[in-house]
Amino acid sequence: MPDESPLEAEVGPDLAGARLDQALVALFPDYSRSRLQTWTRDGRVEVNGEQRRPRDKVALGDRLRLHAVSERQVACVAQPIPLRIVFEDPQVLVIDKPAGLVVHPAAGNPDGTLQNALLYHDPGLSELPRAGIVHRLDKDTTGLMVIARTQAAHKRLTGAIAAREVRREYRALVVGGMPAGGTIDMPIGRHPTQRTRMAVNPMGKRAVTHFRVLEHFRGHTLLKVLLETGRTHQIRVHLAHLRHPVFGDPVYGGRLQLPGGASDELKAVLRGFRRQALHAKRLEFMHPTSGRAMRFTTPIPADMRVVIDALAADADIHWQDRDHDDNDDHDTFDSFDGFDDYGDEED
């Protein structure tokens, strides 16, 4: 198969002193550990222009170059699955992912994924790792994702994500009353006994989540959440660790909790919501070729909005002068200036 253009990355403080194979997994997440180890042994990996062994250590500032072998999506076939396309040009595609759509094929979901849908929409994506997908959302998390459509765009977007230059902002409905916003800076790794779960783990990778309270309800809080890092299940794990799990989370959420004196209508709405109430509302990045600053927004989906509205109505009945933020879309987090806006700001 033809070679892809070499991919490059620089070792940062988090990976200084790590084994080369561990650094490769962190810096080139689109490839499996076993494939990266094979390529290292085959001489397809260079550290500062020299070949190294997988067990060799890397240092701060080392330049890694990967000569990857093109992976055509032979196991992932194109399927006519509808996509909500927010923006499209020859370099990038921005989509609004619905709940229930798995991003990549896996043992339990061999097809019917976002990757299958992308290959149908653009067959040329078969030339890119994972059909150009450069970041992920969990199956039942909704919202915005950017897809690379060329090798150059893929390289620049993955580099921007690694350098924390892509801004990803979420809305999360959590259980309990959170008194104020803040920052969660706790490492995340595999759960020590339940390998399908993630957990706050001192041996894990650094994970940083910023959040701000948008609205209080009886027994629930609506948050604006900003990812600084992008670990697996990061928002869900961090909020669950604070004992304020994302409402409806089947993995980290625990038992359903109902506000005292809730009406039958509210109980029915809460019991009928069967996924985590987490939505990737805003996405900001620099266009990989033009350098234009781009901002995309998308409304909270209807099923999550029904829950929020029901909780708001309940709070209005039981509380007076309720504390809430009527302007969900003004920024209190740092943002880039001069962005081109796309999408619908309304919730």
CB contact at 8 A, 211 and 226: yes
Which of these, 332, 102, 298, 100, lies nearest to 223 by C-alpha position? 332
Backbone φ and ψ for 60, nearest 5 degrees, come out as -55, 130
Q: How far is CA 64 from CA 11, 47, 58, 312, in A?
A: 8, 5, 9, 51
Task: Report the distance separating Cα 299 and Cα 15, nearest Å.
Answer: 37
What value, to the nearest 5°, has the Cα angle with vertex 274 and ends 268 and 280?
A: 120
- Please report where in the chains the tokens 């669950």 appear, as a residue: 240
Task: Report the distance separating Cα 87 and Cα 94, nearest Å.
Answer: 5
CB contact at 8 A, 89 and 128: no
CA atoms within 13 A on the CB side of 64: 31
Which of these, 236, 272, 257, 251, lies nearest to 176 by C-alpha position? 257
Q: Is 138 a catalytic residue?
A: yes
Task: Report the distance separating Cα 258 and Cα 256, nearest Å.
Answer: 7
CB contact at 8 A, 222 and 214: yes
Spacing of C-alpha 280 from chain mean position? 8
Which of these, 275, 279, 291, 278, lies nearest to 339 by C-alpha position? 291
Task: Report the distance separating Cα 229 and Cα 237, nearest Å.
Answer: 13
Which of 21, 96, 138, 249 is catalytic? The answer is 138
Task: Report the distance separating Cα 236 and Cα 209, nearest Å.
Answer: 10
Residues recognised as catalytic: 138
